[in-house]
Structure 1
Amino acid sequence: MSEDKKFIRFMSARKLAAVLSLLAVTASLLLIAFKGLNFGLDFTGGTLIEVAYEEAIPLEEVRDSLAREGYDNAVVVNFGSDTDVLVRLPVGLSPELGEQVLAVLRNDSPSGVELQRIEFVGPQVGEELREQGGLAVLLALAVVLVYVAMRFQMKFAYGAVLALAHDVIITLGVFALVGWDFDLTVLAAVLAVIGYSLNDSIVVADRIRENLRGMRGYTPIDIINISLTDTLGRTLVTSGTTLLVLIALATVGGEMIHSFALALLVGVGVGTYSSVFIVASLLVAMNISPEDLMVPEKEGAELDDLP
């Protein structure tokens, strides 16, 4: 080794990281399979009514009013402000239900109630959206595999796609565990997580490739540790500022983007971990070496150099 270079030995913890990730992914898959996701109106179908009260009203009073009329399974939340109320009713109900619920709210309200919107999603539409959403995630992973394989090398592609699948599964597992609503905004967040994690993985992979080609006298594991140390500052600053914004959106951004922000919070946090440990650990497991990045010589290339 011609020159000592200080670096953090990330890969010394790769076995522990592998065990933790395996446990997290397994638990997430079991939660998704047995507990399931709490699909929102977009995927299950149903009726959504948004109303605006002249004065703020306790949500418990709205729930009691609906329960007295037989709507026990209504979900009632504030939407943006204390006077805006959103009522969700599950699948199996008619499009006319929105007008009926609005009449109940107006009859039991001491102040005026103004209708903002009524939406109805049929169960068939919700099922199609659920299937198309799953296909969108799989297609995104397939495109990433092809892109990274062309941009870098097949071992990098396998590492990137497995890390992205790891991030998506754990994010879905958290939603299944906590019971947060999973709707189209959350699906958009999951796709955004794939893009964010891919960007982080590309930065790490590019530095690993550069150092594998240019550094001599180091083992591949040491080169990966050096590469991760070189990109650590960038990773922490990018993830830290992103997480601060997402925390603000989740706490004060309102009901509309609350689930979106929560999904990104989980995904970005897990994605930061996976870009440091999962991608690099998989490269070590696949015995990445400088020879993997050498451009193969064409047959007869030495004859082309002859005068």
Structure 2
Amino acid sequence: MENVWTHTTVLLGEAVDALLGTSDAPVDSVAAPVYVDATFGRGGHSRLILSRLAPHGRLIAFDKDPDALLEAACITDPRFAIRHQGFKDLGELPPASVAGVLLDLGISSPQVDNPARGFSFRFEGPLDMRMDTTRGTSVAQWLAHAEVQQITEVIRDYGEERFAGPIAKAIVARRQARGPLDTTTELAQLVADTVKTREPGQNPATRTFQAFRIFINAELEELQQALDGALKVLQPGGRLVVISFHSLEDRIVKQFIAQHAKEVYDRRAPFAVPKVMQMKALGRIRPSAPEVAANPRARSAIMRVAERTVSGQEGVP
């Protein structure tokens, strides 16, 4: 019997409410609004958006995961289209053509729970972790050649792991003595044998697995590209909604919104007109206690909402 891995969408109603929310600012092409679900996943947000989308509206989804494309093929709504691309390619859409962009970051439950994908230390599987299994380098392939310093930097910077150095040395020592690591359980056991102390309730391999997944998929770099792309394609009054699941992602989103939510003065030309504000922060939302109780994977989620400004002229009479 074929396994079925389910996914519970985090902040489902809140995200779609924020994305489709009305604004006092005029939105161009309001007669045919275009929205983007830049991380389709298993389609929870997309399906709810479609249920509330105007008959003449459109929804464009992005996803790198071939399994997500199979799920998207089940949606026959003519207003829907999906691209086999990562959200870093958002900027390919026409400028100022989109009424709202949704980014639900991280990995979906089916990706974590499917041993063949190699994302979880809980299951025996190939040490892969690629979001797009049709291209790129797996974690196992990278670890077969990476040097101690590079591995250390990845675990330290992307996993915020204080034992990054000892773990990296143990990985290379194992490779030299017995060959490269091939499976998730091999890596998890090596980390457990190396890290003797850990926060209560957390597997010793948690931070290392997170670091390798983020690195191998260039997640933080692609997030920055996606945010830049969203700013380009959003219409005045359009919404940006981003759900993140760890501090590295949230910090990038928070700083991006803050950077574009203020006027910028050129110190070299103090009397010049300042560069106008491009975004307006609308809020920060956490999952409710009942949602976290029903879906523990929601506990670390943070949703930030911002609005594309109207030529930076809010408040001008």
Greater relative contact order (Cα < 8 A, sep 6+)? 1
More strand by share: 2
TM-score of the pair, normalised by structure 2:
0.23
Larger helix share, 1 or 2: 1
What TM-score results when the alignment is normalised by the length of structure 1? 0.23
Structure of larger gyration radius:
1
